[in-house]
Structure 1
Amino acid sequence: MIKLHGFALSNYYNKVKLLLLEHGIAFEELPNKLPLEEAQLAQSPAGKVPYIETEQGFLCESEVIVEYLAARFPEKHIFAADPWQAAKERELIVFIETHLELNARELYGEAFFGSKVTDEVKATMEKRLRRYVAAFRRIAKFAPYVAGEQFGVADAAAFVSLPLVGRATQAVYGSDFLADVGIDWKTYIKLIGERPTAQRVNADRKAYIEANS
């Protein structure tokens, strides 16, 4: 059985967890806290979560984990069967995680944790995020799912990361960059949130926050 290491506050942990639940892949959750202990750095070298434990060893980085799951369980069809559609799903994930969430992460200290971001960082991130939010809007369908009519792997990434981007830009700039280009992410998140798997992820996240507040 796959062992999932991490904690329920991490959006990338929740992405992997949501996909495991969606596809009925058996797994066990093993809670970790950051920073990881020295011994755990042999399991996750950068000290990040999530990482998984398999009979062959440990594997880190959420998208690498997803690719591993797709290869190990081909019958689960984690990515679309059509090569072009699967590539388009991967394209969306890169935009969501690398171009949007990773850049918005520079704002989280001020947006969510009470610290301040320098004016230089704010200016750089505003320019970069507005560019990539506009680009993402050009390729995302939201019809009603991010890649089209069916729920897919890109939705797992969007569900856990788009709210962070919208809320962080609103908090720091007074403007939700996603909403500014017509992305109604709140309605989209509500749609995904109706899925039993997403409800499980949200409930576990809420319980984690309450237990650690």
Structure 2
Amino acid sequence: MQKVHIYSVPFSSFGRVAQLVCEEKQIPYSMGTTVAGHEVPFKGEQHLAWHPYGKMPVLLSGDKVLCESSSIIRYLDNQFPGPKLQPQDPWLAAKLDERVLLLANYINHALIRDYMLELVFPKGPEGTPRLDVIEMNKPAALDALALVEKWLSEEGGYLFGSEFSLADAMALPSLYYATQLKTPFALVSEDCAVYQYVMRMKATHPSCAKVLVPKQG
């Protein structure tokens, strides 16, 4: 089976989305910003040729280049053998795609970009988090988690249907990071549905146990 490369830093939530799909389907892959023995600078000329907005991840598959995580994971599932992570029915496939895009464009944004990145890469005086920004964005992060909990209750333990799908792959890295936040910035408790979902996925899916860890690389 042809090996693919995920151009991404190891801690990127979206990079880990692509990694989860590779692990779940047992696709051989490598991951990092070194490609064919050469470092490809973030937002450098080559990166911008792959992704016009300089985002991660980018998938390199032979001579093919693909950006945007939702497109990447759909391609990986369609192109490679292993468990199918999308339904065959056109309507159900479209509804799954709808959920994947909601997770990528809104839920990840509320949890990661608007909330957690202020803690990881603070922009306040002398490198401190801007507490006003965190408090302002916290309600949207909690609303995003409430929507995920609603889906979990409707779907019976997964985020789409009765088994692991692209929706779970898209959601889990962001949700895992949410479970790692400590007081006073915590968004979930150990008895909430999101926390229990993440822990169950780590316990039952080797792909999740490998990818959903504090640090990689």
TM class by shorter-chain length? 0.7 to 0.9
User: Which residues of structure 1 form unaligned runs of 5+?
Assistant: 209-213
- 2:73 alignment counterpart: 66
* Alignment length (residue pairs): 202
* 1:95–1:136 CA contact under 8 A, matched in 2: no
User: Is residue 112 from structure 1 mapped to residue 126 from structure 2 by the alignment?
Assistant: no
Change (3 A) 1:166 1:29: closer
2:168 is the counterpart of 1:155: yes
Aligned pair in 2 of structure 1 residues 118, 28: CA closer, same or farther (>3 Å)? Answer: closer
Q: How high is the TM-score relative to the length of structure 2?
A: 0.74
Output the amino acid matched with 1:200.
Answer: K
Report whether the alignment pairs 1:192 with 2:197: no
State the distance in 1 between where 2:93 and 2:86 align: 5
Deviations along 1:125-154, one digit per CA (max 9) or x if unpaired, are 345444444444433336222224312221
For 1:53, the equivalent position in structure 2 comes to 60
Pair 1:57–1:67, CA change in 2 (3 A): same
Name the structure 2 match of 1:91. 98
Distance in 2, matches of 1:75 and 1:199, equals 18
Q: What is the CA-CA distance between 1:25 and the residue it aligns to? A: 2.4
Determine if contact 1:44/1:51 at 8 Å carries over to the other structure. yes
Within 2, Cα distance between the matches of 1:127 and 1:200? 31
Displacement, 1:57?
Answer: 2.8
User: What is the deviation of 1:12?
Assistant: 0.9
The superposition leaves residues 5-49 of structure 1 with CA deviations (integer Å, 9 ceiling, x where unpaired) of 112211111111110121122333343586343333212332222
Contact between 1:101 and 1:164, CA under 8 Å: does it hold in 2? no
State the TM-score, normalizing by the size of structure 1. Answer: 0.75
1: CA distance, partners of 2:216 / 2:185 = 29
Unaligned 5+ segments in structure 2 are 35-39, 123-127
> Following the alignment from structure 1 to structure 2, what is the Cα–Cα distance between the partners of residues 183 and 94?
24
Q: Distance in 2 between matches of 1:150 and 1:136?
A: 16
State the identity as a percent. Answer: 23
Aligned mate of 1:101, from 97, 101, 108: 108
Q: Where is the helix percentage greater, Structure 1 or Structure 2?
A: 1
Question: For residue 112 of structure 1, what is the amino acid of its counterpart?
Answer: V
CA RMSD of aligned residues (A): 3.2
